[in-house]
Amino acid sequence: MTPPQIVAHRGSATDRPENALSSFIAAAGSGVEQIELDVHMSSDGQLVVMHDAMLEQTSLGHGAIASHTLAELQQIKLRGMDETIPTLAQVLDAVGQSIHTRIEIKKGPVEYAGLTEAIMEAVESRSLKDRVTIMCFQLASIQPFAKAGYETSLSFSKSFGSERDLSTLVKRLADDGVADIGYFFHELDAEAIETITAAGLTVGAWTVNGMPRLDYWLRQPISYILTDQADLALSIRAGL
């Protein structure tokens, strides 16, 4: 069995802030197969890379991303380093040709008008359509990408509100052209893996950290793991 691919979750650089441009550059050169990032939209319709819709947790800014222009956002420093919030365009320009990128659409209190079209433009203008996967917890958000021929992944967890019968869900995903499920590792078991793979879909686990869990999941018949500890995951996988 080929071990799962390693996805650097938000760049997963232990000495750099999450979702920082330098984190993605470091991850792209580390030996992992993929990176993962999250996108939001500024008040003037520009895509920026940050996990939360609000600025406080990982930056020195305040308020909602959607209430700031891109120029304002790019004056805000990330916590812990002299680096500002990157745009999706900056990340794709820096590493898009060298590593597969999983772009997660964040759903929450803010709905961004034109988000789908903006992501497609950013990706396709760089000829990266075959080097990205579009992810979201909501199927409706990834259906337009699947119809347009993108690789798509439904994030799945009953703990996060994904109350769906898995057998019914995988058939619907296959019919919609969604080829992958990213599963909360704590809920993923052999039965779920069999159900998903029997339907012709791939499955990965998120977010796997710590020596025991990484060692376990890198031995399972899944396609990838997301981790905040890419260096540790690479070391463990090398010893399998």
CA neighbor of 19 nearest in space, from 68, 47, 66, 114:
47
CA angle centred on 85, ends 151 and 110, rounded to 5°: 65
Q: What are the tokens at 129? A: 């359509």
**CA 94 and chain centroid, separation:** 17
pLDDT at 161: 63
CA neighbor of 153 nearest in space, from 161, 145, 165, 164:
145
Residue 158: band (very low, low, confident or very high) from pLDDT cuts 50, 70, 90: confident
Category of 121 on φ-ψ map: left (φ > 0), alpha (ψ -120 to 50) or beta: alpha
- Share the mean pLDDT of the chain: 94
Q: Sort strands 34-41 and 47-49 into parallel, antiparallel or unpaired.
A: antiparallel
Residues 6+ apart with CB under 8 A from 84: 73, 74, 75, 76, 77, 78
* CA distance from start to end of the chain: 11
**CA 83 and chain centroid, separation:** 21
Q: Is 28 exposed, middle or buried (0-12, 13-18, 19+ CB in 10 A)?
A: buried
Residue 185: band (very low, low, confident or very high) from pLDDT cuts 50, 70, 90: very high
Contact (Cβ atoms closer than 8 angstroms) between residue 114 and residue 97:
no
Domains, the chain, with CATH or none: 5-41+88-238 (3.20.20.190)
- On the question of pLDDT at 11 being above 70, the answer is yes
pLDDT at 14: 63
Per residue in 159-184, pLDDT (tens digit) is 776 667 899 999 999 999 999 999 99
pLDDT at 33: 98
Highest mean pLDDT among 50-59, 119-128, 154-163: 119-128
Per residue in 37-50, pLDDT (tens digit) is 999 999 999 999 99
